[in-house]
C-alpha cells in the first residue's frame, strides 16, 4: 500500500496519531496558501521550459492550482486528515482536480526549498503592507504637527519638567522613529527578496531548472547562490522579528507618554471614546486601554523574537524540523504589528489636546538654561553661567518665589553682567524660538522637519 504522505515511501509502520498532530502545521501555515500556489504555478512553468512536462500538462497544473486558490479565497477549501501542511493540502487537492499529472509537479523540488520560498513570498507581501501602515502613521503625525504647530508644552527629561518645546516637535520625534522603522523595513524586504526555489532538499536541482525564470515569475530580485544556505537560512525571519520588536518599542514609548499626558495629573490630552474604556466599578473612569494594550503587546512581540532565536541558534546545517517553529512567531508578530500600527494611527488622529493645560504647566524655572545662555551672550563662560543660573534658582526657591520675581539688584549680586534686558528672557515663546538650529524646536525648524517628512512620504507613494 502506498503511503499518502509525501515522505512516506520507505515507511511501513503507522505513525502515532499524537505524532501526526504534533508534526502537522496546516492549522497555521495555511496562511501561505497563495504564496504556495503561486510558487507551484511558476515551478510548473519552469518544468515545462525544460521539457520535463509538456505544455498541456503545464496548463493543466496551472489551471488546477488556480482552482485550488479560488477555494481558499472563497473559504470553501476543506482540510482533510493527512493534510500535514499547506504544501501537502494543495497538492492533494490539485490531484483531485487534475488527476495523476499532479504527481509531476514536485519533480526536482523539495518541501525544504518550497517552504522557505513560500515564507519569503508571504513575508515580503506582508512587510509591504506593514510599510504602508507605517507611512500612514507618519502622515497622521505630520498632519497634526503642521496643524498644531503653535502649541507649546513642557519637554521632559527623567519625567521632570526640563525646557519648553512645541507639541509638534514632540509629535515629530516619534514620526522620525517611524521613518527609521520604515527605512529598516525597506532594507529587510530587499534582503529577503531572493529566491531559494531550485535548491532542492539541500544539494540543488538535478534538472537544471531555470532559476532566473523562477525569480522573475515570483517577483524576486535575486537568487540564492548556495543550495545549503538556500534551504536553511532564516535570518530574514530573525530580522523581521527584531524589526517588529523595535517598531513595537516605539509604539510602546508613545503609548507611555500619552498614558501619562492623559492622566488627571497632566491633562494634556484626552483620548477619543473609540479608544478608551470605562471601569466596571467606578463610573468616573476613562481608561486608556488602547494605549495600555499597545504597550503590553510590545512584550509579546519581543517574546516571539527571543523564542525564535533560541530555536535557531543551535541548528546544524541545512533543513531541520525545528524550523517549523519559524512561522508562528512571525505570523503572530506581523498580525500584532498590523493591528498596533493601525490602532496607533487611530488614537493619534482622534485624540484631543488641551493647549491651555500644557501652557499652564510651563514654569519659569524651565528657563534656567535660558538664564545661563543670556550670560553666555554677554561673554561669560558657560561653566560659570551654569552655576550662576543655579544660584538664581536656589535664591528663588529660598524666597518661595519665581526667578522672574527677582530684582535686577538680586541678579547683579550674582554677576555684574546682568542688565535690564534680563527680564526679556521670561518668555516661553522666545525660549522656544531660540532653539533655531536644525533639529530644534523653533517654529521654522519644525516647519523644516514637516517639509522633509512630507517630501519623503511623497517620494514613497503616500
Annotated catalytic sites, by residue?
158, 279
Cβ contacts of 376 within 8 Å, gap of 6 or more: 382, 385
Dist CA 233 CA 118 (whole Å): 13
> How many degrees, rounded to 5, is the angle at CA 159 between CA 153 and CA 162?
50
Beta carbons of 462 and 141 less than 8 angstroms apart = no
Q: Give the number of C-alpha atoms closer than 13 A to the C-alpha of residue 97, restricted to the C-beta side.
A: 22
Cell of 248: 513595537
Dist CA 273 CA 289 (whole Å): 11
Name which of 96, 38, 98, 104 is nearest 69 in CA terms: 38
Dist CA 158 CA 206 (whole Å): 63
Dist CA 411 CA 415 (whole Å): 6
Name which of 110, 114, 111, 133 is nearest 122 in CA terms: 114
Cβ contacts of 430 within 8 Å, gap of 6 or more: 424
Name which of 58, 63, 33, 32 is nearest 43 in CA terms: 58
Determine which helix (DSSP H) or strand (DSSP E) holds 107, and give its type and residue range: none
Cβ contacts of 305 within 8 Å, gap of 6 or more: 238, 241, 242, 244, 245, 329, 333
Amino acid at each position: 500500500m502506498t503511503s499518502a504522505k509525501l515522505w512516506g515511501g520507505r515507511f511501513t509502520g503507522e505513525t502515532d496519531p499524537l505524532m501526526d498532530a504534533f508534526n502537522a502545521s496546516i492549522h497555521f501555515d495555511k496562511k501561505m496558501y497563495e504564496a504556495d500556489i503561486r510558487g507551484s504555478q511558476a515551478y510548473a512553468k519552469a518544468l515545462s521550459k525544460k521539457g520535463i512536462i509538456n505544455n498541456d500538462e503545464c496548463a493543466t497544473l496551472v489551471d488546477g492550482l488556480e482552482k485550488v486558490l479560488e477555494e481558499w479565497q472563497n473559504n470553501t477549501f476543506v482540510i482533510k486528515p493527512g493534510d500535514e501542511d499547506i504544501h501537502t493540502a494543495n497538492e492533494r487537492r490539485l490531484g483531485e482536480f487534475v488527476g495523476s499529472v499532479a504527481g509531476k509537479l514536485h519533480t526536482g523540488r523539495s518541501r525544504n526549498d518550497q517552504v522557505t520560498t513560500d515564507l519569503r513570498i508571504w513575508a515580503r507581501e506582508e512587510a509591504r503592507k506593514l510599510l504602508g501602515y507605517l507611512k500612514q502613521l507618519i502622515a497622521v503625525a505630520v498632519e497634526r504637527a503642521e496643524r498644531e504647530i503653535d502649541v507649546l508644552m513642557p519637554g521632559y527629561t527623567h519625567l521632570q519638567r526640563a525646557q519648553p518645546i512645541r507639541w509638534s516637535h514632540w509629535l515629530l520625534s516619534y514620526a522620525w522613529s517611524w521613518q527609521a522603522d520604515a527605512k529598516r523595513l525597506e532594507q529587510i524586504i530587499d534582503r529577503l527578496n531572493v529566491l531559494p526555489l531550485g535548491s532542492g532538499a539541500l544539494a540543488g536541482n538535478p534538472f537544471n531548472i531555470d532559476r532566473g525564470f523562477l525569480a522573475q515569475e515570483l517577483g524576486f530580485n535575486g537568487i540564492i547562490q548556495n543550495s545549503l544556505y538556500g534551504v536553511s537560512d532564516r535570518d530574514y525571519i530573525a530580522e523581521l522579528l527584531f524589526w517588529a520588536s523595535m517598531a513595537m518599542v516605539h509604539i510602546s514609548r508613545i503609548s507611555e507618554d500619552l498614558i501619562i499626558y492623559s492622566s488627571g495629573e497632566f491633562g494634556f490630552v484626552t483620548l477619543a471614546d473609540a479608544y478608551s474604556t470605562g471601569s466596571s466599578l467606578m463610573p468616573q473612569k476613562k481608561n486608556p486601554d488602547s494605549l495600555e494594550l499597545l504597550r503590553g503587546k510590545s512584550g509579546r512581540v519581543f517574546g516571539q523574537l527571543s523564542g525564535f532565536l533560541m530555536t535557531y541558534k543551535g541548528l546544524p546545517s541545512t533543513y531541520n524540523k525545528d524550523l517549523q517553529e519559524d512561522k508562528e512567531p512571525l505570523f503572530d508578530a506581523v498580525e500584532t504589528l498590523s493591528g498596533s500600527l493601525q490602532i496607533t494611527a487611530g488614537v493619534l488622529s482622534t485624540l484631543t489636546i488641551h493647549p491651555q493645560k500644557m501652557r499652564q504647566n510651563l514654569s519659569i524655572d524651565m528657563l534656567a538654561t535660558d538664564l545661563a545662555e543670556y550670560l553666555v551672550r554677554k561673554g561669560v563662560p558657560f561653566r560659570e553661567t551654569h552655576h550662576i543660573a543655579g544660584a538664581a534658582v536656589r535664591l528663588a526657591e529660598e524666597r518661595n518665589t519665581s526667578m522672574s520675581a527677582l530684582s535686577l539688584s538680586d541678579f547683579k549680586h550674582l554677576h555684574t553682567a546682568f542688565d535690564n534686558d534680563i527680564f526679556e528672557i521670561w518668555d516661553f515663546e522666545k525660549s522656544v524660538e531660540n532653539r533655531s538650529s536644525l533639529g530644534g524646536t523653533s517654529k521654522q525648524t519644525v516647519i523644516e522637519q514637516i517639509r522633509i517628512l512630507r517630501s519623503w512620504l511623497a517620494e514613497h507613494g503616500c
